[in-house]
Amino acid sequence: MPDYIYFRSLWWKKGNIHPEAKWEEATLPYMLAEGVTLNKYERRTDEFNIHGLWEWTNYKVLVYELPSEPHENCISVIITEINEKCNPVRRTDAKIIGFGATRTRADHSAKEADASFRPMKSEVLALTGSDGKRKPWSNIIVEVAYSESIDHIFDKVKNYWLKNLNRAHDAIVIKIDPVSENETPSRMQAWHFCSAERKTRKGELRHLAHFEFGTQDGTGNLLNILEGTCFIKINLNCLYHQAHLDVPIPQTILPDPIILDFFFVRNEILCAFKE
């Protein structure tokens, strides 16, 4: 067994990302452990505070994303933007609650979004809740991919998070192309999916929006986006989908739709890497 395989196993056994594990050379997804029960997986991820990087499926623990500054910074920026837009209803019955990377269970797997939001919601009647029992699902989920492949993140959105109207309602997906250490990310893309918008005869989920908002596109062309040109719109009916009966949709308080301008998202990300 190569030494790096042993050192990689320490992430599962001891929560230790060892410098000799050579994670930067790993091909993802990487099987970190197998023969693991869901309860053991949940205990281990709570103990080591692992959220959004590992996934459990059919007794296997797989690594899809590696810890990185661009990944964590982008999540923080998006959370800040959503909280700021919803600030007018803070401390009211219509408040939007952040649930971060709360674990969910469904389809013999356990997943955590990078961020998640919903209003107050009632428990579900059938055992189809986000915990496999009666807890309600979040309405908005955010997934940020850096080392994770875009194919995998799309699969999660279409076949897990937005599989039907009884789960999450909208998904924001961001892909940042990896760069060498100490380099500033340049290519950034965003997609918006809504479970109510299925535009093919087979009911396939299609994105409502997709745009490049980095400093370069996929062919290396320079981008200079302006305020108000790259944005995602979240309708209030989506944000408050299946809200508790006591929660009024704040049509006169919040704009409909809520607009997330990625001009500001890009600026915050670039500032984090400014020398």
pLDDT (tens digit per residue) in 4-49: 999 999 999 999 999 999 999 999 999 999 999 999 999 999 999 8
pLDDT at residue 253 greater than cutoff 80: yes
Q: Judging by beta carbons within 10 Å of its beta carbon (0-12, 13-18, 19+), is residue 145 exposed, middle or buried?
A: buried
Q: What is the pLDDT of residue 234?
A: 97
Task: Choose one of 44, 63, 82: the last residue of a domain.
Answer: 63
Q: What is the predicted pLDDT for the residue at 199? A: 57
Q: What is the pLDDT of residue 2?
A: 84
User: What CA–CA distance (Å, rounded) separates 95 from 253?
Assistant: 11
Angle at 95 between CA 92 and CA 100, to 5 degrees: 145
Q: Are residues 88 and 171 in the same domain?
A: yes
Same domain, 114 and 223: yes
Tell whether the model's pLDDT for residue 200 goes beyond 60. Answer: no
- Residue-level pLDDT at 31: 96
Are 100 and 190 found together in one domain?
A: yes
Q: pLDDT band at residue 182, thresholds of 50, 70 and 90?
A: confident
Q: Is 139 left (phi over 0), alpha (psi -120 to 50) or beta?
A: alpha
Whether 156 and 235 map to the same domain: the answer is yes
pLDDT above 90 covers a percentage of the chain that reads: 87
Computed over every residue of the chain, the mean pLDDT equals 93
CATH number for position 79: 3.90.1570
219 and 267 belong to one structural domain: yes
CB 94 within 8 A of CB 117: no
- Mean pLDDT in residue range 58-81: 95
Alpha-carbon distance of 12 to 9, in angstroms, equals 6
Residues recorded for the chain: 275
Residue 161 domain boundaries:
69-272
Q: Which of 220, 208, 222 is nearest to 157 (CA)?
A: 208
Per-residue pLDDT band at 203 (split at 50, 70, 90):
low
Lowest mean pLDDT among 1-5, 33-37, 223-227, 229-233: 1-5
Between the alpha carbon of residue 62 and those of residues 9, 30, 149, 156, 217, the distances in Å are 12, 5, 13, 14, 30
Q: What is the pLDDT of residue 204?
A: 77
Number of domains in the chain: 2
Say whether both 52 and 113 belong to one domain: no
pLDDT given at position 188: 98
Q: Are residues 187 and 267 in the same domain?
A: yes
> Can you give the pTM of this predicted structure?
0.93
* Domain boundary pick from 38, 63, 88: 63
d(CA 36, CA 59): 5
133 and 228 inside one domain:
yes
223/250 same-domain check: yes
Hey, which residues does 222 pair with through a beta bridge? Answer: 216
Last residue of a domain, one of 63, 81, 96: 63
pLDDT at 206: 86
Give tens-digit pLDDT for 104-147.
Answer: 999 989 999 999 999 999 999 888 999 999 999 999 999 999 99
Distance CA 189, CA 4 (A): 33
Mean pLDDT of 55-75: 94
107 with 189, same domain?
yes
Cα–Cα distance for residue pair 187/202, rounded to 1 Å = 32
- Tokens linked to 53: 């990087």
Residues 48 and 80 in one domain: no
Note whether 56 and 73 are same-domain residues: no
